[in-house]
């Protein structure tokens, strides 16, 4: 009885100590993984008044951050420098310092391998390292996108193996990150953030830390699944609009006008637009985490598989359209100079991961006589062993091309100049029409 009361007191005092640190913003916050999610997250909490330490395995990233140079468009270099000067943010590769933190946020990658199976090794490795260094009373929040059960298996298990009791002397929650790189309207301060803890106390503490945007859910698995569900929803709807695009081409109906017509419905329809494929670190990856989990339970997620076939097929479909377009203009692909405008996975950001335009470049570079890529957000593009150089926008390059392919329509491109200087355009995103520049030399996706 006395032991139970003592334990309860100990738990209460750890919990209230953390609550106090959170209330006074004196809690030391550690962010593990300083990439597209981790770095803006670290800056967000540092700007809120916390003292934040960023942990990364990349020496280059840590060194450049400490010089005030970041690699993420959404983070401003001046703000970063100010946070460093005010000693609100520092970065390190020294994992021993994890033990000094009151709150740990894990933002490491969760990619898939070539077979599209989850590569959970980053989360697993961090789970072990955290368990090795962490101290009583710390709150650990996993933010990486992953399948339900990951937090329990890879974060809680190593901690309990070291004798911690989750919800008593250590607090664990899952809170997926909804960062949308390049989105000027929604950011960490105004996007609701789902929070599910291992216990009620864990959820309470995590919500207190996250603040006004926290959206409490019942159970950690709901929180884990909700993020994958959001992205699977997008994956499947993108497949639907891509399938409609291929069909519309057969039926000689304009897909873009069809989408605009359907979008006039003020309820029950959500606008998605087609493209060369689906890219990035999230949408083409996360559904496969769910597919893997479903398979483990003997269940087939047929819509995810089908959406994968359709979305992945768009690269080849685009290639075929390019081939046909050149042929219709009496040009042979093997003798053509093709210029591709924009190659990152979405507009106005520098992230090339899983970009369908890069997959299209991989096909084109073997087939055309001359391939030029104009990509203002990258210095080079790696395709397997090959490094493709990247050019700056120059009207002369367009004038000498047989075909200009609009891959990723960055806002910095001058569409009038593109239109006036190109002789033939394959527009995968309908920017020409949207900018009032539709003419005989423009072919839509
Ligand atoms: N990029 C996005 O737009 C986005 C949006 C929402 C959620 N997510 C999810 O957030 C997670 C992180 O994605 P990201 O895009 O920031 O990845 P990223 O590759 O940009 O960054 C991950 C960072 O983690 C570091 N890292 C790897 N192993 C580590 C270790 N053991 N210890 C410390 N650091 C380590 C890497 O060096 C890298 O800097 C993923 O699960 C992703 O699905 C990403």
Asked whether 293 lines ligand 1 (CB < 6 A), one says: no
Angle between helices 2-23 and 200-210 (to 10 degrees): 10
Q: Is 316 helix (H, G, I), strand (E, B) or coil?
A: helix
Burial class (CB in 10 A: 0-12, 13-18, 19+), 304: buried
> From ligand 1's centre to the CA of 329, what distance in Å?
45
Q: What is the pLDDT of residues 290-349, one digit of tens each?
A: 999 999 999 999 999 999 999 999 999 999 999 999 999 999 999 999 999 999 999 999
CA 178 – CA 228 distance, rounded (Å): 11
SS3 for 178-200 is: CCCCCCCCCCCCCCCEEEEECCH
CA atoms within 13 A on the CB side of 90: 11
Whether residue 213 is found in the same domain as residue 251: no
**Which residue has its alpha carbon closest to ligand 1 atom 41?**
144
**Model confidence band, residue 275 (pLDDT cutoffs 50, 70, 90):** very high
Whether residue 240 is found in the same domain as residue 192: no
Look at residue 224 and tell me if it is in a domain: no
What pLDDT score was predicted for residue 72? Answer: 81
Q: What are phi and psi of 196, to 5 degrees?
A: -135, 125
pLDDT of residue 233 exceeding 70 = yes
pLDDT of residue 7 exceeding 80 = no
Sign of CA dihedral 44, 279, 353, 356: negative
How many angstroms separate the Cα of 310 from the Cα of each of 73, 257, 364? Answer: 31, 21, 20
pLDDT of residue 8 exceeding 90 = no
Look at residue 144 and tell me if it is in a domain: yes
Q: What number does the ligand 1 atom closest to the CA of 176 have?
A: 7
Structural domain of residue 24, as residue ranges? 2-218
What pLDDT score was predicted for residue 184? Answer: 86
Sign of CA dihedral 69, 74, 78, 80: negative
Look at residue 228 and tell me if it is in a domain: no
Look at residue 61 and tell me if it is in a domain: yes
CA 403 – CA 329 distance, rounded (Å): 10
- Token pair listed for 310: 């359709």
CA 353 – CA 377 distance, rounded (Å): 13
**Model confidence band, residue 69 (pLDDT cutoffs 50, 70, 90):** confident
**Model confidence band, residue 182 (pLDDT cutoffs 50, 70, 90):** confident
**Model confidence band, residue 5 (pLDDT cutoffs 50, 70, 90):** low
Asked whether 55 lines ligand 1 (CB < 6 A), one says: yes
Look at residue 194 and tell me if it is in a domain: yes
Whether residue 57 is found in the same domain as residue 200: yes
- Residues tagged active-site: 282
Whether residue 303 is found in the same domain as residue 160: no
Of 162, 191, 218, the residue at which a domain comes to its end is 218
Q: Residues of 314-345 as b/e, b for ≥16 C-beta within 10 angstroms?
A: bbebbbebbeebbeeeebebeebbbbbbbbbb
Choose among 197, 171, 188: nearest CA to 21: 171
**Percentage of the residues of the chain whose pLDDT score is greater than 70:** 98
Asked whether 61 lines ligand 1 (CB < 6 A), one says: yes
**CB-based contacts of 244, cutoff 8 Å, min separation 6:** 255, 258, 274
Whether residue 144 is found in the same domain as residue 48: yes
Whether residue 161 is found in the same domain as residue 78: yes
Whether residue 193 is found in the same domain as residue 329: no
Q: What is the pLDDT of residues 27-37, one digit of tens each?
A: 999 999 999 99
What pLDDT score was predicted for residue 81? Answer: 92
Rounded to a whole number of angstroms, the distance between the first and last alpha carbons of the chain is: 73
- Token pair listed for 244: 């409609």
Here the CATH number for the domain that contains residue 52 is 3.40.50.720
> From ligand 1's centre to the CA of 342, what distance in Å?
24
Of 191, 218, 245, the residue at which a domain comes to its end is 218
What pLDDT score was predicted for residue 68? Answer: 85
Q: What is the pLDDT of residues 116-175, one digit of tens each?
A: 999 999 999 999 999 999 999 999 999 999 999 999 999 999 999 999 999 999 999 999
Q: DSSP letters along 358-378, please? A: HHHHHHHHHHSSEEEEE-TT-
Whether residue 43 is found in the same domain as residue 94: yes
Asked whether 181 lines ligand 1 (CB < 6 A), one says: yes
Q: How many helices (H) and strands (E) does the chain have?
A: 16, 15
Asked whether 37 lines ligand 1 (CB < 6 A), one says: yes
How many angstroms separate the Cα of 172 from the Cα of each of 54, 74, 390? Answer: 19, 28, 44
**Percentage of the residues of the chain whose pLDDT score is greater than 90:** 91
**Model confidence band, residue 13 (pLDDT cutoffs 50, 70, 90):** confident
Whether residue 204 is found in the same domain as residue 269: no
**Which residue has its alpha carbon closest to ligand 1 atom 26?**
33
Look at residue 344 and tell me if it is in a domain: yes
- Structural domain count, the chain: 2
What does the radius of gyration of the chain's CA atoms come to, in whole angstroms?
A: 25
């Amino acid at each position: 009885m006395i032991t139970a009361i003592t334990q309860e007191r100990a738990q209460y005092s750890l919990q209230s100590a953390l609550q106090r640190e959170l209330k006074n913003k004196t809690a030391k916050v550690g962010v593990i993984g300083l990439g597209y999610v981790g770095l803006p997250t670290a800056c967000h909490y540092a700007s809120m008044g916390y003292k934040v330490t960023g942990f990364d395995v990349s020496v280059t990233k840590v060194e450049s951050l400490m010089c005030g140079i970041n690699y993420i468009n959404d983070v401003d270099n001046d703000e970063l420098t100010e946070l460093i000067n005010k000693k609100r943010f520092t970065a390190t590769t020294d994992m021993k310092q994890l033990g000094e933190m009151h709150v740990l946020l894990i933002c490491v990658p969760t990619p898939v391998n070539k077979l599209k199976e989850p590569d959970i090794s980053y989360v697993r490795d961090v789970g072990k390292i955290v368990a090795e260094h962490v101290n009583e009373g710390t709150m650990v929040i996993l933010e990486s996108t992953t399948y339900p059960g990951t937090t329990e298996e890879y974060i809680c298990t190593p901690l309990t193996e070291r004798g911690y009791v989750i919800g008593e002397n250590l607090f664990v929650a899952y809170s997926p990150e909804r960062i949308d790189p390049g989105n000027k309207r929604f950011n960490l301060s105004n996007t609701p953030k789902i929070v599910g803890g291992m216990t009620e106390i864990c959820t309470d503490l995590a919500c207190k830390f996250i603040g006004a945007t926290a959206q409490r859910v019942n159970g950690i698995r709901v929180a884990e699944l909700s993020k994958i569900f959001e992205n699977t929803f997008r994956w499947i709807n993108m497949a639907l609009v891509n399938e409609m695009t291929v069909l519309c081409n057969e039926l000689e109906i304009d897909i873009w006008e069809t989408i605009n017509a359907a979008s006039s419905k003020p309820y029950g329809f959500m606008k998605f637009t087609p493209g060369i494929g689906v890219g990035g670190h999230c949408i083409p990856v996360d559904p496969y985490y769910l597919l893997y989990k479903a398979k483990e339970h003997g269940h087939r997620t047929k819509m995810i598989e089908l959406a994968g076939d359709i979305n992945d097929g768009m690269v080849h479909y685009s290639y075929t359209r390019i081939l046909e377009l050149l042929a219709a203009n009496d040009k042979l692909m093997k003798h053509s100079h093709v210029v591709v405008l924009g190659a990152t996975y979405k507009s106005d950001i520098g992230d090339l991961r899983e970009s369908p335009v890069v997959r299209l470049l991989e096909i084109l570079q073997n087939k055309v006589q001359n391939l030029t890529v104009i990509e203002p957000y990258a210095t080079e593009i790696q395709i397997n062993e090959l490094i493709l150089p990247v050019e700056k926008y120059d009207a002369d390059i367009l004038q000498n091309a047989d075909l200009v392919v609009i891959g990723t329509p960055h806002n910095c491109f001058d569409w009038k100049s593109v239109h006036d200087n190109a002789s033939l355009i394959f527009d995968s995103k309908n920017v020409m029409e949207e900018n009032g520049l539709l003419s005989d030399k423009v072919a839509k996706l």
